[in-house]
């Protein structure tokens, strides 16, 4: 390709979102069953540490096998890249064909909810306060984007802020949404189906389905092309 060609934008086919559903091989399922039977929870966490940062095929297999052994649900065709960390993985429900990018961290809670829907793609270095989090199906999550699902109350004023009660608020991200690189979702927000959140946006309030928002704080820009909102619907 010449220099002029390199300067032009081009359209290529989607890859992750177009993947066919596949079943993991029987030996992986059997390995997970074995690990679950033979290893205590803490021992599996230690074993994960040995394979957490590896780039080889065996490391990838072991990461999947350990997640499947520990998680509440773990679908087929998932990929857990190197350096992915977690807390309270036993509360996680991971759908089919989910991709979790390198160095992502998912912080659950022992009594929490963390659901990630089928075919969702999570970019590297993302962070999730996943104590009450639901991501839908076919979600695109940009690298470095974050969910903040809790905040300290700040009262009473005569004690350090971090000693005040923590309020956990549910965060809901609808099917088909696209969350831009380094965007931040604050506690309690819901992102409607098919919405687009721009790169670096800070979402402080709910986003309607098929809306495009951007900025700090995130503001409504327009509806996605081809979408016709109901009459009188506010942005």
Angstrom distances, CA of residue 93 to CA of 3, 19, 70? 47, 20, 10
β-strand 150-152 against 166-168: which pairing, if any?
A: antiparallel
From the list 159, 146, 158, 131, the residue with the least C-alpha distance to 201 is: 146
Active site residue 152: yes
73, 76, 152, 222: the active-site residue: 152
What does 108-159 look like in DSSP terms, one character per residue?
--TT-EEEE-TT-EE-TT-EEE-SEEEE-TT-EE-TT-EE--EEE---STTS
Residues 6+ apart with CB under 8 A from 117: 95, 98, 134, 135, 136, 137, 138, 139, 175
CA distance 111 to 204: 25
Cβ density class 31-40: b for 16+ within 10 Å, e for less: bbeebeeebe
Tokens of 112: 């929490």
| Residue 152 near residue 165 (C-beta atoms within 8 A) | yes
Residues 6+ apart with CB under 8 A from 36: 44, 69, 70
Active-site residue numbers? 152
């Amino acid at each position: 390709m010449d220099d002029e060609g390199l300067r032009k934008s081009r359209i290529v086919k989607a890859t992750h979102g177009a993947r066919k559903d596949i079943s993991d091989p029987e030996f992986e399922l059997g390995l997970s069953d074995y690990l679950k039977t033979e290893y205590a929870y803490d021992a599996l966490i230690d074993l994960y540490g040995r394979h957490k940062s590896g780039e080889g095929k065996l490391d990838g297999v072991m990461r999947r096998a350990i997640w499947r052994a520990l998680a509440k649900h773990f679908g087929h065709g998932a990929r857990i890249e190197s350096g992915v960390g977690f807390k309270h993985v036993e509360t996680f429900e991971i759908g089919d064909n989910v991709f979790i990018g390198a160095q992502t961290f998912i912080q659950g809670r022992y009594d929490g909810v963390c659901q990630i829907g089928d075919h969702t793609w999570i970019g590297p270095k993302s962070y999730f306060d996943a104590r009450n989090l639901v991501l839908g199906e076919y979600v695109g999550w940009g690298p470095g984007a974050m969910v903040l699902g809790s905040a300290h109350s700040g009262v009473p004023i005569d004690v350090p802020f971090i000693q005040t009660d923590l309020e956990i608020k549910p965060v809901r991200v609808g099917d088909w949404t696209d969350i831009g690189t380094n965007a931040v979702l604050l506690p309690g927000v819901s992102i409607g189906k098919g919405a687009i959140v721009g790169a670096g946006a800070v979402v402080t309030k709910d986003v309607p389905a098929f809306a495009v928002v951007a900025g700090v704080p995130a503001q409504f820009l327009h509806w996605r092309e081809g979408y016709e909102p109901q009459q009188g619907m506010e942005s």
